[in-house]
């Protein structure tokens, strides 16, 4: 006798659905702030001959793109599953994170190239406009960060936009310092140094986005979740003989899933044990989307945990 059953309850679920409008409002406000200030920054950066300001503006362009993409993805993710799309469009947020990561890589490379060139032959940027615009940028990004802090940051889609704004905030602080240095000392290379610092921040953000989204696309176990520990928890059930073909992956951020083949003692109730194992997975590991095939084992079979894949 055997049973193949799936559990997908939503009470206390780790991938609880959030009203799309709840996240769209703060994203829209942040987008308006970023776009308005980005245009002003490009104008001042050209007039002041400041690569730091122009690199900040380039980063803000990626911020605006990330916010627009986030707004689109929120709507796509909320669409119900249908036809061949059995999980709906939940992984569009992962594709969004990949796109943001690659964009940051390209822009940071361009900024590094131009920054090194300006270290060798620096122009003469004007310190006062750089300082003023950078300080205003700090304020704008603080407001945008505050807006996004109220959104659902369990979503990789939202968290990616939030990290974009945070890195921009740090970049503006660096640019303000560069403007102050130019005003105080006349050392014009401070502008290029600040631009390289911005590029380093962008590279770090790109790496994080590509790493985290790549893990989801490779169907690796969610970060911080031990597959071996999960296997031991299943195998420790008093009526379980062995656990095989254990797979743990993430459909999208905050949506862990599990499948396994479980053998139990001859004569035991497969349905009841399946329910108990599903409860254990939900309670101890936060995995509520599970597919467990439970069968009777041959008498005297030794307990093993066979992890086929993580």
Per-residue pLDDT, 100 = 80
> 126 falls in which pLDDT band (50, 70, 90)?
confident
Instruction: Answer whether residue 6 shows pLDDT above 70.
Output: no
Per-residue pLDDT, 302 = 46
In-domain check, residue 5: no
> 292 falls in which pLDDT band (50, 70, 90)?
very high
Residue 264 sits in a domain of what CATH number? 3.30.70.1350
In-domain check, residue 113: yes
Instruction: Answer whether residue 9 shows pLDDT above 60.
Output: no
Please write the tens of the pLDDT for every residue from 149-197: 766 656 777 777 787 788 778 878 888 888 898 889 888 888 889 889 8
Per-residue pLDDT, 22 = 63
For β-strands 240-250 and 256-264, DSSP reports them as antiparallel
Residue position matching structure tokens 């270290």:
119
Q: Which helix (H) or strand (E) holds 250?
A: strand 240-250
Give the other-Cβ count within 10 Å of 305's Cβ: 19
Q: Which domain holds residue 73?
A: 20-217
Average pLDDT, the chain: 83
Instruction: Answer whether residue 283 shows pLDDT above 90.
Output: yes
Per-residue pLDDT, 276 = 96
Per-residue pLDDT, 154 = 63
Residue position matching structure tokens 């615009």:
133
> 247 falls in which pLDDT band (50, 70, 90)?
very high
Cβ-count burial 22-57 (b if 16+ within 10 Å, e if not): ebeebbebbbebbeebbeebbebbeebbbbbbbbbb
Per-residue pLDDT, 277 = 97
- C-alpha 301 chain-centroid distance: 43
> What total of structural domains would you count in the chain?
2
Residue position matching structure tokens 């195998």:
235
- The residue that leads in pLDDT, 223 or 307, is 223
- C-alpha 153 chain-centroid distance: 9
Both 268 and 163 in one domain: the answer is: no
Residue 112 sits in a domain of what CATH number? 1.20.1510.10
Instruction: Answer whether residue 253 shows pLDDT above 60.
Output: yes
Instruction: Answer whether residue 31 shows pLDDT above 70.
Output: yes
Per-residue pLDDT, 305 = 52
Asked if residue 58 lies in contact with residue 34, where contact means CB atoms within 8 angstroms, the answer is no
Both 28 and 149 in one domain: the answer is: yes
Q: What is the DSSP letter of 121?
A: S
> What is the rounded distance in angstroms from the CA atom of residue 236 to the CA atom of residue 231?
9
Both 75 and 158 in one domain: the answer is: yes
Instruction: Answer whether residue 7 shows pLDDT above 90.
Output: no
Asked if residue 82 lies in contact with residue 67, where contact means CB atoms within 8 angstroms, the answer is no
């Amino acid at each position: 006798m055997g049973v193949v059953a799936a559990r997908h309850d939503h009470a206390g679920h780790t991938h609880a659905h959030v009203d799309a409008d709840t996240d769209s409002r703060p994203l829209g406000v942040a987008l308006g702030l970023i776009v308005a200030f980005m245009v002003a920054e490009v104008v001042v950066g050209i007039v002041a001959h400041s690569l730091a300001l122009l690199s900040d503006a380039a980063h803000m362009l990626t911020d605006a793109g990330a916010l627009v993409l986030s707004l689109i993805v929120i709507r796509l993710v909320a669409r119900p599953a249908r036809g061949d799309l059995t999980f709906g469009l939940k992984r569009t947020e992962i594709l969004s994170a990949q796109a943001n990561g690659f964009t940051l890589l390209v822009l940071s490379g361009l900024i590094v190239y131009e920054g090194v060139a300006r270290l060798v032959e620096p122009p003469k940027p004007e310190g006062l406009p750089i300082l003023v615009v950078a300080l205003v940028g700090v304020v704008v990004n603080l407001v945008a960060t505050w807006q996004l802090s109220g959104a659902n940051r369990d979503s990789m889609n939202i968290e990616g936009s939030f990290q974009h704004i945070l890195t921009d905030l740090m970049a503006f602080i660096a640019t303000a310092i560069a403007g102050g240095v130019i005003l105080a000392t006349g050392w014009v290379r401070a502008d290029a140094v600040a631009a390289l610092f911005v590029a380093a921040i962008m590279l770090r953000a790109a790496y994080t986005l590509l790493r985290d989204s790549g893990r989801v696309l490779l169907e690796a176990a969610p970060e911080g979740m031990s597959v071996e520990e999960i296997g031991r928890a299943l195998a420790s059930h008093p009526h379980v003989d062995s656990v095989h073909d254990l797979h743990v992956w993430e459909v999208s951020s905050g949506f862990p899933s599990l499948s396994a083949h479980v053998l139990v003692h001859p004569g035991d109730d497969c349905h009841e044990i399946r329910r108990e194992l599903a409860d254990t997975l939900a309670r101890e590991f936060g995995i509520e989307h599970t597919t467990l095939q439970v069968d009777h084992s041959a008498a005297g079979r030794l307990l093993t945990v066979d992890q086929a894949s993580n």
